[in-house]
Amino acid sequence: MRDAVTNLIQNYDLGGRYLDGDAMDRLKTYFQTGVARVQVAAIINGNAAGIVKQAGSQLFAEQPELIRPGGNAYTTRRYAACLRDMDYYLRYASYALVAGSTDILDERVLQGLRETYNSLGVPLGPTICGIQMMKEIVKQQATKAGVTDLGIVDQPFDHLAAELAERDI
C-alpha cells in the first residue's frame, strides 16, 4: 500500500524530475490535513459497529424490499453478510483516509469486486447507497468532534461508490 507522499515521489522519480511547485502544494495539503485524517480514522475506529448498524438500519428502512422474502438481504445469513461487507468497506475507507490515497481500495477491495457481486446477484445500487450512508454518518460524527475539513472524508467513500457504480459500455 502506498500513501499520497509515496505516490507523489514515485511519480516524480519515474520522470527523473525534482519536486515542483505543484508537488510541494500537494505535500503541504497532505500534511496540513494529517491531524484531521487521523481524527476521523479514530472516530471510525471507535464507532465502527455503530456506524455500520446505523447505516444498515437506514438502508433497510429506505429499501425494505432487501429484507423481504426474495430480497438480497433476506435470511439471517445474507443480512449478516451485508453488514459484514459494509464493515469491510468502512475499515478500508479508514485506511485510505489515513493514507490520503485510494490505492489500497483499488488493490485490496475493488479488484474484481464488481464482477463478483454481479456473478452472485448482489445489487450494486443498495451497496453504493450503504457506502454513501456510512460516509454521511462519519461526517456527522466528525463534525460533532470538531473536525472542520470534511472534504477529506468524501474521497475514499466516493471512490468506492464510483468504482462500483454501473457504467455505460
What is residue 169's predicted lDDT score, i.e. its pLDDT?
42
Q: Which residues of the chain have pLDDT under 70?
A: 166-169
Does residue 169 form part of some domain?
no
Q: Which three cell numbers stand for residue 96?
A: 485510505
pLDDT for position 166: 67
Q: Is residue 93 within 8 Å of 99, Cβ to Cβ?
A: no
113 assigned to some structural domain = yes
CATH at 69: 1.10.490.20
- What per-residue confidence (pLDDT) applies to 2? 83
Q: How far apart are CA 95 and CA 157, in angstroms?
A: 11
Task: Please give the residue range of the domain that contains residue 2.
Answer: 1-32
Give the number of other CB atoms < 10 A from CB of residue 18.
7
The predicted pLDDT at position 134 comes to 98
Closest CA relative to residue 28, chosen from 51, 62, 5, 53? 5
123 and 49 part of one domain: yes
pLDDT value of residue 120: 87
Q: Phi/psi of residue 38, each to 5°? A: -70, -40
pTM, two decimal places: 0.91
**pLDDT value for 51:** 98
Q: Which three-class secondary structure state does DSSP give residue 104? A: helix
Tell me, yes or no, whether 22 and 47 share the same domain: no
